[in-house]
Structure formats: structure tokens, C-alpha cells
Amino acid sequence: MLPIKLIAFVFLFFEFITFCFNYKKGLGVFLFIYLVFPQSLTILDFLNLNIIRLALLIALLFFIRELFLRKKIKSTVFPLWTPVILFSVLLLPSYNFTEYSDGFPKGIYNYILYFFSDTLLPGIILFYSIQSFKDLKIILKWMAIAILVMTAYGIIEYASGFKNIFWDSMQKELKLTKVYDYQDVDDRLGFSNRVKSTNIHPIVYGGRLALFIPLFMMLMADSRFWRVIKPNITLIIIFGMLLINVFLCLSRSCWVSAAIALSVVFFLKRKQYFKRHSTLKMALLAGALPSLIYFVPLLIRVLSKADFHGSSYQLRNQQYDYIFNVIVAKQFYLGFGPDAINSFLNSGIYLGALGYESIIFEIFVNSGLIGFVGYLILYIAIIRMAFKNNKNNYTKPYLIATIIAHLSFVIITGERSTLMVFWLFVCIYIKINYILTSSKALIIANNDEYKSTEAA
């Protein structure tokens, strides 16, 4: 097998060459790298640059070229700039003035490099770079290809008896001190391990995949997005592989998130899904009833932990009491700093927290009350954007489903690694609304011009 770093450099070189010839396709390759490769794959150790940051650096350089030198990017105002700035301002104190931070001013550099650039910047670049429906289709196509590659590898991982060659090579070549291995002592539903594909963690993988469910439902249901991937059956196949991989993650939180995403989209778009070929769809629904008779009791047993091992409701309560009474009470307003939880786990102190399995715990431990307010501002702004009562809010059902699925997942697990993918979707759905609105306005203007010419 080729060395992992060599594979990474090949993809980075391919991204650079693609950007040189076609900026929008280069952006698609960047998205592929951003979604498929793990952040733990460090390329330049002396600069602490992983493949994600190097891919972003290449994308950023070409974005600046398009914006300032070629002036091919129109200056549409990003509607979430204010909450993003407030969010950053409220998180900065924990990066500069806390026990497990590097102090001022290095904390500002750490925030920009290790949080803002990794999590928020790619979505903002996407928002400004997508200028037309053609650009959008390129981006969506590369996102679908990324899911195809990850889910195909996930199925191969399962078929090989959960032997993940990618992570085995990563551990040997890069000498990783910590690679998550979920070889459970007690099997989960008869499985000895969980699929994680190219992600570091099965729960991260499943949580991210769940966010793609509304996107694929949009691509398959809305005729404007048909043939993004040719032929159309390919989308259905990828979507099926996605659902299989979510199941093989064997995480109740991932299943709940995926079920919420499916249910919310179906409920909000039920007329569109059952408008055409209603007889066939009702037959499929009737055929699914026998399966539900079997799977619903199974799901109830799984969620009640009757025959499924993992975190319980009682554990969450214990965490809540311990974290807020023992840990957070010491540094309530600013928290302990961005590296606090890793430091606690590595040193063995505060073991009563047992994993910090909720985003609320993690935010309070890392950033305190002030940081928590920052997250509230950001999430509330996104929710307001989604529920905006606007006739031109074309992606409203899909964005609402994505928000609810994401929030339910991170509140249960605390896995903030899904935030970067969630933010991508927020920016993409907002830009889709802009593009479809401008396209509708252009059609109306052309029709009005045609009518005036006819009248003359």
C-alpha cells in the first residue's frame, strides 16, 4: 500500500492543478479532501499543518486571486457575519486568559488557525464562490462523490471483518499515540466492532453522515437538482450506502440523528414526495409495515439498553452532576481553555466526567458561560435563518431537518467534530436560496420584457 503521506500529497497536488485550470472544480476537489480525510493526518509536522489546513490554504490563495485579482466573485453580503463575529469575540477569552490556553496574543492565533479556519472559513468561502446554479451543481457533485468513496470504504471495512487498512497504515506510518478502536468486550447486536471509514471515530462518522440525509433527499425529490450525478439511479445507490453505513456505526445517537433528519424532511415535504406515483409509494409504504413490526420493538430495546451496550441515561445524569458541581464551578465564566478536556483525559484527573458526552458540558468546560453565550448566538441566528417566513426560502425543510438532527446529536454526544460539516450545509443552503431567488427574478424580468415588446 502507498504511504499515507504520499497519497495526501497526490490529492493536494491534484487540488492545486485543478484550481489552476478551473476554480470551481478546484473548490470541489478541496471539499472532497475536507470531507474524506481526517484532521489527524499531519503533513508538515514542523508547522503543525494537517491535510485539511493545507487543502484550505490552497483554496484560500485561489479564492483571494478570484476575489481581488480576477474580480470574478460578486460581493454578496454573507447574512451571518454578525453572529460569526460575536461568536468569535466571546470565544477568544477562553483561548487567551484561561489555565489550558497559550495566553495572549498566541490564543488569537490558535483560535484563527485551529478553530475558525478549520470550522467556519470553508463554508464562508463556499458561500462567496458559488455564483450560479452551474457552480452549485459542481459542488454538490463533489460532495456526493465524497460520500460515495467514504461509504464504499465503510462497506469494504465491514466485509473485511472491520479491518481498517487506512487507519492501520496511519498508526504505523505517523506513529499516532491515540487511534480509537471500538472492539467491544460485549458485542453490539452481534457485531464485534463499528465502521468508521476514513473518520477517526465511528460516532463522528455516523453524525456527519446523518447531516447528508436531507441533502440527498433534496437532490432526489427536487427536479431542479436531478442529474447532478448521472445517471439518477447513482444518487439512490449512494443514499442507500449512506444509510447502511449509519447503521454499521452502531451508535444510538447516530441512529436518532439520522431518523430525525429523515422524518423531518418527509413531514415538511410530504406533499411533494407523495404527489407523483402515489400508488407506487403507497405500495412501498404498505410493504414497509411488516418490517416496522419487527424493527420498532428492536429499536425500543436498543434505546432502552436492554441488549445494547454503551452510555446510559443514568450515566448522562452522573456526568451532569459531576461536571457542573466539580469542574465547571471552579471556572464558571471563562472555562479552562480549548485544550482542557484532552488535558484532563490524558492526565487522568476528573475521571468522573467519563467522556464529556454533551456539547453543553464541553462548552462550559472549555469556554465557560461566556463561550456558551457565543454558541447560543450562533445557533439562534442559524435557526432564525431557517425558520424565516420567506417565500424565497426554498431550502427551509432541509435546513430545518439538518439543524434538528445536528443539535440532537451534539446534545447527546458532545461530538463537535460534526460542526464543521453542519456549517458547510448552513452556508450551502443559504446560497441555494440566493441563487434560486435571483434565477426566479431573472425569469420574471425576461417575461415582463417580452410582454412589453409584444405590446409595442
CA atoms within 13 A on the CB side of 383: 10
Whether 370 and 444 share a structural domain: yes
Whether 18 and 94 share a structural domain: no
Q: How far is CA 134 from each of CA 1, 63, 90, 143, 188, rounded to the nearest angstrom? A: 37, 18, 38, 15, 44
Q: 191 lies in a domain?
A: yes
Q: 287 lies in a domain?
A: no
Which residue shows C-alpha cell 440523528?
257
Whether 123 and 160 share a structural domain: no
Of the three residues 249, 276, 303, the one that is the final residue of a domain is 276
Full residue range of the structural domain in which residue 391 is found: 81-129+312-456
Whether 43 and 110 share a structural domain: no
Q: 294 lies in a domain?
A: no
Q: 285 lies in a domain?
A: no
Q: 306 lies in a domain?
A: no
Residues of the chain with pLDDT > 90, as a percent, come to 46
Q: 290 lies in a domain?
A: no
Confidence band for 370, pLDDT divided at 50, 70 and 90: very high
Whether 69 and 159 share a structural domain: no
Most trustworthy range by pLDDT among 8-22, 69-83, 279-293: 8-22
Q: 151 lies in a domain?
A: yes
Produce one character per residue of 337-363: b if its CB has 16 or more CB atoms within 10 Å, e if not.
Answer: bbbbbeebbeeeebeebeebbbbbbbb
Dihedral sign computed on CA atoms, order 449, 450, 451, 454: positive
- Asked if the peptide bond before residue 83 counts as cis, ω within 30 degrees of 0, the response is no
**Count of domains observed in the chain:** 3
Q: What is the pLDDT of residue 271?
A: 72
Whether 23 and 150 share a structural domain: no
Mean pLDDT along residues 353-382: 88
Whether 14 and 49 share a structural domain: yes
Q: What is the pTM of this model?
A: 0.87
Q: 301 lies in a domain?
A: no
Q: Cβ of 447: how many Cβ atoms within 10 Å?
A: 10
Whether 261 and 151 share a structural domain: yes
Whether 125 and 139 share a structural domain: no
Confidence band for 186, pLDDT divided at 50, 70 and 90: very low
Of the three residues 223, 254, 276, the one that is the final residue of a domain is 276
Query: Cβ neighbours of residue 247 under 8 Å, at least 6 residues apart?
Result: 255
Q: With contact defined as beta carbons under 8 Å apart, do 234 and 284 qualify?
A: no
**Whose CA is closest to 140, among 150, 149, 130?**
130
Confidence band for 7, pLDDT divided at 50, 70 and 90: confident
Q: What is the pLDDT of residue 1?
A: 52
Whether 243 and 267 share a structural domain: yes
Whether 378 and 362 share a structural domain: yes
Region class of 298: left (phi > 0), else alpha (psi between -120 and 50), else beta: alpha
Whether 122 and 139 share a structural domain: no
> pLDDT by residue (tens digit) across 34-65?
999 988 787 776 667 889 999 999 999 999 99
Q: How far is CA 456 from each of CA 448, 449, 451, 452, 453, rounded to the nearest angstrom? A: 12, 11, 9, 6, 5
Residues of the chain with pLDDT > 70, as a percent, come to 79
CA distance 38 to 197: 10
Q: What are phi and psi of 28, to 5 degrees?
A: -65, -40
